[in-house]
Amino acid sequence: MVKATNKHLILLFAIFVFAFLYRFLLMIYATYPSGSDIGLHNSVIYSIINQGGNVDFLYNYYQMGGGLSITFPGYHIFVAQIMILTSMPEYLVHTLVASLFSSVIVLVSYLITRAVWKESAAIAVAFLMAITRLELEMLLWGGYPNVVTLLLIPVTFYCYIQKNRFTKLPFYISTSILIGSIFLTHSLSSFMFVSILLSVVFFILVFGQKIGTARIEALSWLLPVVFGASIVSPYLIRIVPAYIVNQTTAEIVRATLASRTVPLEFVLSIFVVVGLYFLLSKKYHERYFTVPTVLLALWLFIPTVFTQGYLVGLYTDYHRFLYFVITPIVILIGLFVDHGSSFFARVTDTYRTLTGQLINTVKEVDQVTHRRMANFSNKINRCLTRSNMYVGILISFLLICFFFIPIFTAPSEILEVHDFYQVMSDPLYQAMDWAKVNTPANATFVTTAYYGWWFAGFAQRPTWSAVEPQFISLSREVPIAQMATNLLDTDYLFDSSFKLSDEILYIQVKEDGGYMARHNPQVLTDLNWTYLPYPFFNFNSEQTKVLYAVNGVPCLMSLAKLPVKNMHMENDTQHITVSITKGSEYFTCTQLTTVYQGSKFVNITIILETNTENVSLLWLQSTLEVNALQVGFERSNAIGFLAEDVKAFGQIIFDQNIPVVNSQVYDQLDSTEVHLDYNLAGKKQAEIQVSLTTYSVTNDIKIYNNDEIFSDFFNKQIALNLEPENRGNLPLSTPFNYQAELKINNINYVAVPSYYEEDSVAEMKLKFANDPLFNLVFINNEVAIFEVK
């Protein structure tokens, strides 16, 4: 191994200090660390601390309402000790520990590169590791345990590479402790470390002679794995079965495949560069295969392969595998930066030598010219030595990496990433402090995804967070997250499954109830190519108005302005109905929204009744918002619509009291507003019924490219939907009823933060503020907390 010079050590120390300060200052840029995972880590820490002596590492009292936890506790045990010893603010301890471990990766990368290749390349690698985007991004979203294992893995591999410098006992003790720490700290890191190590051992067993290593030596690499697993075996024996049994559900799989896969083109580009390690090995070690080269190549290759794990039924967040290729790919880039710098410095030096020879030639012809050229050449030569040129070219290449290669990032770009992940602020933290002081320790909160994880960890209250399925680890958390999402979004959610062309689809209804004018109701399409439903039809009670006369004087009233008299859900095996009754002293309006078992239609009935003799009903005016454009021939009793970009078809059928229809088309938005005017003819009582359906249709391009075929296809769809329906016997799914869910799940508080769009926040706050089931107990400029009565 090449010995480090004092100059290199000083430079390395400077890079390490830069890396630490860069990370630490970035994490406290907005006072509070960005990301939401820090809340998860804090909830694990306080679940450990608050259990006292007999700790169950598989139980979290706060995260997702409290229950089984499969978060490996190594990082949390370490941080808990520092918190107890120092009494520093919790988020500051996380920041210091994560920044320190991340910075030490710079040193380990230097050691590996120096041991396998050369010291000048190691310095370049150290600098590049200090500015690596993926690692900085991991700090910003809060993947602190993963940061720790991204240090432990290269340290362990460095020990393997330098095994000959150890005696047996120190080697096995140190590597066993390191591997045990990996196993205790992060599940995916444990899996990746073992996969890479087993691949290296297998490669050596098969090609040991070419590599120049005895097979027994390769097998000895497995002993520390066994010893390390033995050290933490009490935990592994419990966590492994729990991890396997409780992890994947259909919802998590669908969401993961829809949003967390890695493009194959990106993966193939990484595969291509793996072979470069062997070319460099041939140049520097005079053979293609050496143990360090094989290790680095497989360290890059194996995680890349697992990004495509869904092809063999392995479901997880595939983006997470990319973090494991950071070190080997940065080492590879650093080697080429060093090699390129050496090459251009050598070429330039050769050019200077040839120029000197040319000057000597001039001397024989012209003494004056020779003296001038010689003086100029000497000045340049004093500055442009080969080493100076190497340094200059190296710095140029590093700056190019800094500003132009995507896996590295400049400060301005990383600040944008920081702002993207930033969750916490003083008002939000103030609300958590209020909850910690003013609510019972077992009070259950519901809030949004990112704030919810902070809330669980720092307010130390059981918290149901509205997390998307792709970011959920446990099957038990799926219904909790779904319930939280539904509660923050709407009052009632239900659907009906039906069979269409041998395909089982569903039609979904979202009803915001009587206290918020937004989705009253909204009808969504089940798309056959994604798990996310498509909002197709929408009524807004603000846009539904009743024109009535009192003693012959016309009056106009929006349904949104009417006080709620009764609101409830009825459901059995045959149907689900949401009934909302609103009224004034003059008239009462009851809206019934119903789905039936096996039906593809949503039936909406509006019943209007006057309350006094001097009141008469004149008109009902309503607006239907459609995220599609009209399609097919216009009929008096039905209108068809098509959202061509998502291949969703919808239809409205007027069952009673045919309205006057006026449509306003917004071509740029691919949407339509359908204005429906019902003549109530001065009656005392009126009933209006409409049926809505929407479902996925064919993506056959032949239909969409031929106007005649297109028109014929969708006219047939409209006609078929007007025929009597043969309902199937597919069971109705369990509906969401916010009144029942609050009671069943013993929800005590709802916290509504305001880091989403302002309109959305205003609507959510209005939803709870107007509902007599909730009482506002805390509010500042960024969050409102409502108590469930």
pLDDT tens-digit series, residues 691-741: 999 999 999 999 999 999 999 999 999 999 999 888 878 899 999 999 999
Q: What pLDDT is stored for residue 376 in this prediction?
A: 52
* The model scores a pTM over 0.85: yes
pLDDT at 375 over 60: no
Q: How far apart are CA 626 and CA 634, in angstroms?
A: 16
Q: How far apart are CA 74 and CA 51, in angstroms?
A: 16
C-alpha distances (whole Å) from 532 to each of 524, 525, 712 are 10, 9, 29
SS3 246: coil
Q: Which two tokens stand for residue 218?
A: 């390769």
Of 39-53, 110-124, 339-353, 585-599, give the range with the top mean pLDDT: 585-599
Q: Which two tokens stand for residue 252?
A: 């998590």
Tell me if 567 sits within 8 A of 581, measured CB to CB.
yes
Helical H runs in 28-86? 37-49, 74-86
Q: How far apart are CA 628 and CA 393, in angstroms?
A: 58
Q: Which residues pair with 16 in a beta bridge?
A: none
Q: What pLDDT is stored for residue 380 in this prediction?
A: 54
SS3 243: helix
3-state secondary structure 331-394: HHHHHHHHHHHHHHHHHHHHHHHHHHHHHHHHHCCCHHHHHHHHHHHHHHHHHCCHHHHHHHHH
Residues 6+ apart with CB under 8 A from 593: 509, 511, 521, 577, 578, 602, 603, 604
Q: How far apart are CA 688 and CA 693, in angstroms?
A: 17
Q: Which residues of 309-336 are buried (b: 16+ CB within 10 A; e: fewer)?
A: ebeeeebbebebbbbbbbbbbbbbbbbb
Sign for the CA dihedral angle at 261, 263, 268, 269 comes to: negative
Q: Which two tokens stand for residue 85?
A: 């010893």
Residues 6+ apart with CB under 8 A from 626: 536, 537, 538, 641, 650, 671, 672, 673, 674
Within 13 Å and on the Cβ side, how many CA atoms surround 227? 15
Tell me if 493 sits within 8 A of 736, measured CB to CB.
yes
**Average pLDDT rounded to a whole number, residues 224-239:** 95
Q: How far apart are CA 469 and CA 516, in angstroms?
A: 27
For tokens 């809030």, the residue is: 447
Model pLDDT for residues 49-99, shown as the tens digit of each residue: 987 778 899 999 999 999 999 999 999 999 999 999 998 999 999 999 999
CA proximity to 518, closest of 556, 495, 491? 491
Model pLDDT for residues 505-549, shown as the tens digit of each residue: 999 999 999 999 999 999 999 998 888 899 999 999 999 999 999
Q: What pLDDT is stored for residue 3 in this prediction?
A: 53
For tokens 């000497």, the residue is: 378
Q: How far apart are CA 640 and CA 622, in angstroms?
A: 18
Cis peptide before 521, with omega less than 30 degrees from 0? yes
Q: How far apart are CA 436 and CA 441, in angstroms?
A: 8
Backbone angles phi, psi at 765, to 5 degrees: -65, -40
Residues 6+ apart with CB under 8 A from 364: none
Model pLDDT for residues 321-374, shown as the tens digit of each residue: 999 999 999 999 999 888 888 887 777 767 666 655 554 554 454 555 555 555
pLDDT at 462 over 80: yes
Q: Which residues of 459-498 are buried (b: 16+ CB within 10 A; e: fewer)?
A: bbbbbbbbbebbbbbbbebbebbbbbbbbbbbbbbbbbbb
3-state secondary structure 392-460: HHHHHHHHHHHHHCCCECCHHHHHHHHHHHCCCCHHHHHHHHHHHHHCCCCCCEEEEHHHHHHHHHHHC
C-alpha distances (whole Å) from 754 to each of 321, 417, 783 are 33, 20, 6
Q: What pLDDT is stored for residue 412 in this prediction?
A: 80
Burial class (CB in 10 A: 0-12, 13-18, 19+), 268: exposed
Bridge pairing between strands 638-643 and 587-596: unpaired
Burial class (CB in 10 A: 0-12, 13-18, 19+), 87: exposed
For tokens 């369990």, the residue is: 734
For tokens 């896969």, the residue is: 261
pLDDT bracket for residue 447 (50, 70, 90): very high
CA proximity to 184, closest of 233, 151, 220? 233
Supply the DSSP string of 611-638, one letter for each residue.
SSTTEEEEEEEEEEEESSEEES---SSE
Q: How far apart are CA 673 and CA 627, in angstroms?
A: 9
Tell me if 729 sits within 8 A of 597, measured CB to CB.
yes
Q: How far apart are CA 388 and CA 375, in angstroms?
A: 20
pLDDT at 589 over 90: yes
DSSP letter at 731 equals P
Q: What pLDDT is stored for residue 383 in this prediction?
A: 58
Q: How far apart are CA 536 and CA 506, in angstroms?
A: 13
Q: What pLDDT is stored for residue 495 in this prediction?
A: 94
For tokens 């030596």, the residue is: 217
Model pLDDT for residues 174-230, shown as the tens digit of each residue: 999 999 999 999 999 999 999 999 999 999 888 877 787 888 888 899 999 999 999
Cβ neighbours around 559 below 10 Å, total: 23
Backbone angles phi, psi at 401, to 5 degrees: -60, -45
pLDDT at 2 over 60: no
**Average pLDDT rounded to a whole number, residues 463-485:** 93
Model pLDDT for residues 248-268, shown as the tens digit of each residue: 778 888 888 888 888 888 888
